Amino acid sequence: MIELKNLVKHFGDLVAVNDLSLTIGRGEFFAVLGPNAAGKTTTIKILTGLIKPTSGSASVCGFDVQEQPLEVRRRLSYVPDFPFLYDKLTPWEFLRFTGQLFRMDEEAIQRSTRELIPRFNLESYLRQPIESLSHGTRQRIAIVSALMHDPEVFVLDEPMVGLDPHHTRVVKDVLKERSLRGMTIFLSTHQLSIAEEMADRIGIIHHGRLIAVGTGEQLRQQSGTDGALEKSFLSLTAQEANFVEEKAALKDRAPEITIA
C-alpha cells in the first residue's frame, strides 16, 4: 500500500530524510515516532505530494506519488496537526465540499456522514460557522472529512492535538476499526502510548533515517531495554545521536573516508 524506496530529501545542506526505505501493507497500522525535526513531517509531505523528494520514490497503492499524483490523492487522505478549514463555511458545507472533491455523489455523502457525524459528536455544530468552533472540534471535522470517502491510505500528523480524552478515544476506536477493515494508516505522533496501543508496527526516525522498525516488543529487544516504550525510544535515539557525532568526528579527522 505504501512503499518508500531510498527516499532522500535535502533542504540545502540539511538532509531531512536520509535513504529511507519502508513498506507498509494493506490494513496495517503504522506509527512513526521521532524527536523534533527528525524528518517525520517531511516524509509525510513527500507521501502526500506536497514536496518532491531529492531522490528515491514514494508510491501509494502502486501509484508513484510524483508520476501519478491524482491517482494517489484519490486513494489517500491526510490530516495535519493544524488542518486548514474554510472559516466561513459550516461543518456540513465543508464536508459536502470535500466529499464532492472526492467525486462522491449526494447519496454517498449522506450515507457516510450519517455514520461519522454522530460518532464524532458533531451534530450540534453542523450549522455553526467553523470560525466559531474550538480547535478540537475543528480537528474532528477534519478527520471526518478525511474518512468520508473511505480512503485506502490514511496519513495523520499528530491528530490528537487539542482533542479531549473522550474524543481521543473515539478517534482511536474509529482508526482501529478502519484498519481492521483494510485501511492502511500512517500515524506520526509524539505520544508513545498511542503508538504502542494502536500500531501494528512502529518506526523510529532520527536524523532523517529510519533507525528502528518493528512491534513494541521488537523495539525493546533491539534497544536492549525492557518496560515502557519510552525507554526503548530514548535508548535508540541516543545510540543514533552518538553514532552521528562519532561519524562527524571521524569525518573531520579523515575527510577522504566515505561513511554510510
Catalog residues that contact other proteins under the rule CB under 8 A. 9-14, 45, 48-52, 69-70, 73-76, 78, 83-84, 86-89, 93, 97-109, 111-112, 129, 131, 149-152
d(CA 146, CA 148): 6
Burial class (CB in 10 A: 0-12, 13-18, 19+), 45: buried
Residue 166, C-alpha cell as written in the block: 473522550
d(CA 12, CA 241): 21
Between the two ends of the chain, the Cα-to-Cα distance in Å is 28
d(CA 17, CA 42): 7
Of residues 89, 74, 166, the one with CA closest to residue 125: 89
Other C-beta atoms closer than 10 Å to the C-beta of 59 total 20
**Minimum distance from residue 176 beta carbon to other proteins (Å):** 18
Nearer to other proteins, 96 or 220 (CB): 96
Burial class (CB in 10 A: 0-12, 13-18, 19+), 237: buried
**Minimum distance from residue 217 beta carbon to other proteins (Å):** 32
**Minimum distance from residue 258 beta carbon to other proteins (Å):** 17
d(CA 241, CA 233): 12
Contact of 159 with 187, CB cutoff 8 Å:
yes
Nearer to other proteins, 146 or 192 (CB): 146
Nearer to other proteins, 197 or 246 (CB): 246
Q: At residue 251, what is the residue type?
A: K
**Minimum distance from residue 112 beta carbon to other proteins (Å):** 7
Nearer to other proteins, 24 or 212 (CB): 24
Nearer to other proteins, 73 or 220 (CB): 73
Map residue 108 onto helix, strand or coil.
Answer: helix
**Minimum distance from residue 80 beta carbon to other proteins (Å):** 8
Nearer to other proteins, 99 or 216 (CB): 99
Nearer to other proteins, 166 or 254 (CB): 254
Q: At residue 151, what is the residue type?
A: P
**Minimum distance from residue 199 beta carbon to other proteins (Å):** 22
**Minimum distance from residue 105 beta carbon to other proteins (Å):** 5
